[in-house]
Amino acid sequence: QVQLVESGGGVVQPGRSLRLSCAASGFTFSIYGMHWVRQAPGKGLEWVAVLSSDGSNENYADSVKGRFTISRDNSKNTLYLQMNSLRHEDTAVYYCAKKAAGGVEASPDYWGQGTLVTVSS
């Protein structure tokens, strides 16, 4: 069965960096695009970033563009999110999610359990 396990969250000071990882299993990771989605405490879901199966196409929400970088290592079945210049408003649970079957427009289908990032001085 599909499993996605995020790690790397924690408490970090404003302006610092953090890298999240998402270990995938139970499906052929290398043929699916992947999303990152976050949820601030008590708030709704916010789409963050997407990466194609081969890593050649990516995009970001305006709120993180220029600060966050999504990447993947298909040999390790792992997705990453490098977060730089972190702000208080980046505090959230970060979920990685496999893209549903379909084309570039596919939304998330399977989700990890999330990892909490707290940006605080």
Partner 1 sequence: QTVVTQEPSFSVSPGGTVTLTCGLNSGSVSTNNYPSWYQQTPGQAPRTLIYSTNSRSSGVPDRFSGSILGNKAALIITGAQADDESTYYCVLYIHSLVWVFGGGTKLTVL
Residues contributing to the site for partner 1 (CB under 8 A)? 35, 37, 44-47, 50, 57-59, 61, 95, 100, 102, 104-114
Torsion of CA 64, 65, 68, 70, to 10 degrees: 120
Record the tokens describing residue 46, joined without a space: 């916010």
3-class SS of residue 67: coil
Measured from the CB of residue 80, what is the shortest distance to partner 1 in angstroms? 18
Measured from the CB of residue 100, what is the shortest distance to partner 1 in angstroms? 4
Measured from the CB of residue 56, what is the shortest distance to partner 1 in angstroms? 12
Measured from the CB of residue 121, what is the shortest distance to partner 1 in angstroms? 27
- Cβ–Cβ under 8 Å, residues 18 and 80: no
**Integer angstrom CA distances of residue 92 from 4, 40, 105, 121:** 18, 4, 25, 16
Looking at beta carbons only, is 15 or 26 nearer to partner 1? Answer: 26
Looking at beta carbons only, is 91 or 111 nearer to partner 1? Answer: 111
Looking at beta carbons only, is 42 or 121 nearer to partner 1? Answer: 42
**Rama region for 104: left / alpha / beta (φ>0; ψ in -120 to 50; rest):** alpha
Looking at beta carbons only, is 17 or 107 nearer to partner 1? Answer: 107
